[in-house]
């Protein structure tokens, strides 16, 4: 077919409109079809007189786009019965939102993705004000996201030019920094970061964990922020910043140090003491995370214990020289305040036996990472003595137990003895990672934990889940279910969808590194509920990746 003829047909079809009984006009929108045909024709020149005609490729499938409600007719004015059928006379049903401005914040609360908030901000000045406030309230740069280098550069280029945006930021997470940048590029980036952070008067939480990315002037600026209550920072301080500045922060309540070096260790006691001497008192949260380091030991913990009387949250991971003597000293000082406790219970630490710990009446979250000594490869079953001994924890609501380095079978009788000191009627969140359970243990968990909302488990195969009638009967309160299993025998997406169909309260389900949101909708024909699994799309990190500990 001649190109000019094709162009003429396209022009004529553009003018065709379809009229129906409603007061609106709709184009057929065939222009895209002919555009694809022209593109295919140009890419495949051949003589159609001698060769068969091939169809152009079909367009890719996109998710269904659900239509908005039909436009409304305006009310007729008195004494005028004239019908108006022009496009200008039609009113969008969404215009009613502008008549009730108090509904706008409630509508915008349902939007989470930054790209959606950026689009919404163009609707009106009021929508722009609310959307921008939410868009910049929590900003982040994460290394596992696409284009993190360009995102960080563009983010701080925008912020340092617009001080009003900096004042909207309440949470800033920087887990990536382009260390490869050199010379003028690095100097310019550091300058932009410095100017932006100086304007963040309302910043309350800061995560800056990229090793060797903090300079002295930046930490001085951070230390002067009057509203900063939570700080998670890289512990590699030698030749990069002075850790003593952390002790001068006026509002700091939660301190989390990643991979401390000897320089930071030498200043840690000084920092904790300085924070304790403030009018508002000492830290409410302290976390020290190492890969496997002997720097932090009992001597340091015993020294700082007297300055941690207000401590509510304690995390100690990878500190190989820490034993129950140092931990119990801190818990003794803050026994009436401790709410969350997360520990590496190494075999030599004595933390596998917590029965002698002081009374912790407010403890609601306990996380233990345990390591089993090397054993015969044929012995893959956990005995009762392999599990931690817990004190009487009647107020516990979240329990996380992770087995590091291996996957071993957890028999029902061992789990029953382990759970006995806990009031299972109060548990809302339970995580058993790398401790493989069978159907009988799963049934016991669901029956005894009556208000369980989040469950993270490891199983040997999908039959443990698929054949469990108790899961359907007693799991209706679950909102999150994550099932880990060997990839070869684990549940696939169809199995997960089948479970989601039966558990009507479930909002999130996953297996391994796959996490799905559960969307439910009614079919138009028979009003039956249809369940769909969609890959994770939220901006916040799913629960499984927050409880998992290697």
Tokens of 67: 């239509």
Whole-number Å distance between alpha carbons of 195 and 163: 9
What pLDDT score does 108 carry? 79
Whole-number Å distance between alpha carbons of 139 and 155: 9
Whole-number Å distance between alpha carbons of 249 and 439: 51
* Residue 77: Cβ-neighbour burial (10 angstroms; 0-12, 13-18, 19+): exposed
Q: What are the structural domain ranges in the chain?
A: 1-60
Whole-number Å distance between alpha carbons of 284 and 336: 12
DSSP 185-229: HHHHHHHHHHHHHHT-TT--EEEE--TT---HHHHHHHHT-TT--
DSSP 132-153: HHHHTTEEEE-TTSTTHHHHHH
Q: What is the pLDDT along the chain (550 residues), one digit of tens a residue?
A: 556 665 665 555 555 554 444 444 445 556 666 676 677 667 666 544 445 555 555 556 555 555 555 555 555 544 444 444 444 455 555 556 566 677 777 877 778 888 888 888 888 788 888 888 889 999 999 888 888 999 999 999 999 999 999 999 999 999 999 998 888 999 999 999 999 999 999 999 999 999 999 999 999 999 999 999 999 999 999 999 999 999 999 999 999 999 999 999 999 999 999 999 999 999 999 999 998 899 999 999 999 999 999 999 999 999 999 999 999 999 999 988 999 999 999 989 999 999 999 999 999 999 999 988 766 666 788 888 899 999 988 889 999 999 987 889 999 999 999 999 999 999 999 999 999 999 999 999 999 999 999 999 999 888 888 888 888 889 999 999 999 998 888 899 899 999 999 999 999 999 988 899 998 887 766 667 888 898 887 777 787 776 555 4
Q: Of all helices (H) and strands (E), which one includes residue 18?
A: strand 17-19
Whole-number Å distance between alpha carbons of 223 and 293: 27
Query: Under DSSP, is residue 433 helix (H, G, I), strand (E, B) or coil?
Result: strand
Partners of 480 in beta bridges: 454, 508
What pLDDT score does 274 carry? 97
Q: Is this prediction's pTM over 0.85? A: no
**Burial call 168-201: b when 16+ CB within 10 Å, e when fewer:** bbbebbbbbbbeeeeeeeeeebbebbbbbbbbbe
């Amino acid at each position: 077919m001649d190109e000019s003829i094709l162009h003429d047909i396209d022009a004529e079809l553009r003018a065709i409109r379809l009229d129906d009984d409603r007061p609106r006009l709709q184009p057929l929108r065939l222009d895209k079809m002919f555009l694809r045909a022209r593109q295919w024709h140009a890419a495949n020149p051949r003589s159609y007189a001698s060769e068969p005609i091939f169809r152009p490729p079909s367009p890719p499938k996109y998710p269904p786009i659900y239509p908005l409600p039909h436009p409304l007719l305006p009310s007729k004015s008195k004494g005028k019965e004239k019908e108006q059928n022009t496009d200008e006379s039609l009113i969008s049903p969404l215009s009613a939102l502008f008549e009730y401005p108090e509904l706008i914040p409630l509508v915008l609360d349902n939007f989470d993705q930054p790209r959606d908030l950026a689009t919404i901000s163009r609707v009106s000045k009021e929508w722009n004000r609310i959307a921008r406030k939410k868009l910049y309230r929590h900003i982040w740069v994460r290394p596992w996201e696409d284009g993190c280098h360009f995102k960080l550069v563009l983010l701080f280029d925008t912020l340092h030019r617009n001080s009003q945006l900096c004042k909207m930021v309440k949470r800033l997470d920087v887990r990536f920094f382009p260390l490869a940048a050199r010379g003028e590029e690095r100097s310019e980036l550091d300058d932009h970061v410095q100017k932006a952070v100086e304007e963040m008067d309302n910043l309350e939480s800061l995560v800056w964990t990229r090793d060797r990315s903090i300079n002295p002037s930046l930490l001085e600026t951070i230390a002067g922020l009057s509203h900063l209550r939570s700080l998670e920072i890289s512990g590699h301080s030698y030749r990069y910043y002075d850790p003593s500045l952390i002790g001068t922060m006026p509002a700091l309540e939660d301190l989390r140090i990643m991979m401390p070096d000897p320089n930071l260790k030498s200043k840690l006691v000084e920092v904790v003491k300085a924070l304790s001497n403030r009018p508002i008192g000492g830290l409410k949260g302290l976390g020290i995370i190492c890969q496997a380091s002997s720097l932090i030991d009992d001597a340091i913990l015993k020294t700082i214990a007297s300055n941690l009387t207000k401590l509510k949250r304690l995390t100690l991971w990878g500190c190989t020289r820490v034993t129950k003597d140092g931990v119990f000293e801190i818990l003794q000082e803050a026994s009436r305040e401790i709410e969350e406790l997360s520990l590496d219970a190494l075999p030599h630490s004595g933390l596998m036996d917590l029965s002698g710990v002081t009374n912790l009446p407010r403890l609601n979250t306990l996380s233990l990472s345990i390591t089993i000594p090397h054993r015969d490869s044929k012995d893959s079953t956990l005995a009762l003595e392999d599990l931690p001994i817990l004190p009487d924890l009647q107020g516990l609501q979240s329990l996380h137990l992770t087995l590091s380095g291996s996957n071993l079978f957890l028999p029902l009788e061992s789990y029953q003895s382990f759970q006995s000191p806990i009031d299972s009627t109060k548990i809302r969140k339970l995580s058993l990672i790398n401790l493989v359970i069978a159907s009988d243990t799963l049934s016991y968990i669901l029956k005894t934990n009556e208000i369980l909302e989040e469950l993270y488990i490891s199983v040997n195969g999908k039959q443990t889940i698929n054949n469990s009638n108790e899961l359907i009967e007693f799991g209706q309160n679950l909102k999150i279910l994550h099932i880990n299993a060997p990839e070869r025998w684990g549940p696939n997406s169809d199995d997960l969808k089948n479970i989601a169909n039966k558990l009507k309260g479930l909002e999130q389900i996953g297996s391994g590194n796959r996490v799905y949101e559960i969307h439910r909708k009614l079919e138009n024909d028979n009003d039956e509920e249809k369940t769909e699994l969609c890959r994770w799309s939220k901006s916040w990190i799913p629960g499984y990746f927050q409880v998992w500990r290697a």
